[in-house]
Amino acid sequence: MQEDAIVNATDEIAGQGKATIISKCLPDIVRRINDKLAANVAELNRLPKHLSSVAEALTTFMCILSTSKDSLKKILVRGEFDEYPDEKEMHCTARLVEMLDQYSKELDAKNSEKKEDFLMEEIRALEETKGIGLPNFLPRGVFLNVLQKRVKEIATMPEDFTGKVWNYIERIVIKVLMHHCDNYPQLQSSTRRAAQNLIAKKKDESVDWVREIIGMENQTDYTCNPEYVANCSKIMAQQTAFMEIMNDHKKSSTINLTGGIGVIDVGHLRKHVGVVQQAFELKMRMNAYWKIVLMRLVDSMALHIMFSIQNTINKQMEEEIVKDLMAPEGGGIERMLDESPLVAEKRNRLKKSIKLLNESKEVVSNVMDRISFHGDHQERD
């Protein structure tokens, strides 16, 4: 009936000499219908496939896990960010390096030299550990006491840093997983929960690891790094000039010491001349060794983080997500068979629109044919 009405109206207009105008408009109408039809078909094809069996659901689920792992390897391990070119937070290897650099600077700054109390900490340590024994002999216990005090001052920093790193990794992992689960919202809650639980476990593991390495640094003063001996010899070479100032009150009390100390007034140390030489040796040896300690804390942290990230992605993430999905509260793989109401509504709306557009296209085409036929008939008359 719709077609007949349009045709009758067109016949009447054509009889009035207006068929030519309409015939020029109809191709544009057809083009618009085709454009809208193509857009709706493309949008319908982009919708997730409606899963009808457990086998299809399982295949789709494994595909989601696989693509998620690939994305996380690219951005967290290999430093490729073509999937997120304009999101700097997702350029993960660069961000991790920045975090490590900041961590290293904060460790260095924590034990910065206090020029006004130069050697006083060492002198107090020596006086409190006096014992019957040979003079001018530096007991290992004194060195360990000073070392333990320094370690205690920075003990919480590696732990805080691991928390910061894992919080960042958690944001990245969840964002990637949610992106790949976007077509199946019914998976998102269990996937997010699994990722959060896994990251919480990894964070606890890192905290335990940090406490172990801090404990090791507390207990033993050891390194095979040749830089320690070289640096120690270099800064200990200043001891002669330092002791000359201590013993000769006519000399200026300022001295320029290498090893990160700089120009300093040491006049206040002349009243401690009995222990100042040992204090100087303790200070210089500690400064040389402390560089090694800080280097270990940064280097081992970098290795630990990258090793943990790779284990998380390659071995643990998939297992944790599957375990959560299959748990009683997870709903099982069958949840994927229940299409999201939003997706179902959109699918139905697009199908109806496509059907209506096809019908309209056919009607307009028929009208164009009738106009063409009517025009040809009038020309023959």
Same domain, 307 and 238: yes
In this prediction, residue 14 carries a pLDDT of 47
Report the pLDDT averaged over residues 164-171: 97
pLDDT bucket at 130, cuts 50 / 70 / 90: confident
Same domain, 351 and 232: no
Report the pLDDT averaged over residues 10-34: 65
Q: Bigger pLDDT: 308 or 344?
A: 308
Same domain, 290 and 367: no
Same domain, 146 and 290: yes
Domain count, the chain: 2
Least confident of 49-53, 164-168, 324-328: 49-53
Calculate helix-pair angle for 156-180, 273-311, nearest 10 degrees: 10
The answer on pLDDT for 104 being more than 50 is yes
Least confident of 22-36, 104-118, 237-251, 278-292: 22-36
Same domain, 84 and 217: yes
pLDDT bucket at 18, cuts 50 / 70 / 90: low
Indicate the pTM of the whole model.
Answer: 0.77
Q: What is the mean pLDDT of the chain?
A: 85
Count CB neighbours of 274 within 10 A. Answer: 13
pLDDT bucket at 350, cuts 50 / 70 / 90: confident
Same domain, 241 and 347: no
Same domain, 331 and 367: no
Q: Bigger pLDDT: 294 or 184?
A: 294
Top-ranked range on mean pLDDT: pick from 57-61, 80-84, 142-146, 210-214: 210-214
Residue 22: closest CA among 36, 33, 7, 44: 7
Please, how many CA atoms are within 13 Å of residue 199, restricted to the half-sphere of its CB?
Answer: 19
Contacts of 93 (CB under 8 A, 6+ apart): 75, 76, 77, 78, 79
Same domain, 319 and 350: no
Same domain, 348 and 251: no
Which run of H or of E encompasses 223?
Answer: none
Q: Which domain holds residue 31?
A: 2-48+340-380
Same domain, 216 and 243: yes
Considering the chain, what percentage of its residues have pLDDT values greater than 90? 49
Interatomic CA distance for residues 109 and 64, integer angstroms: 45
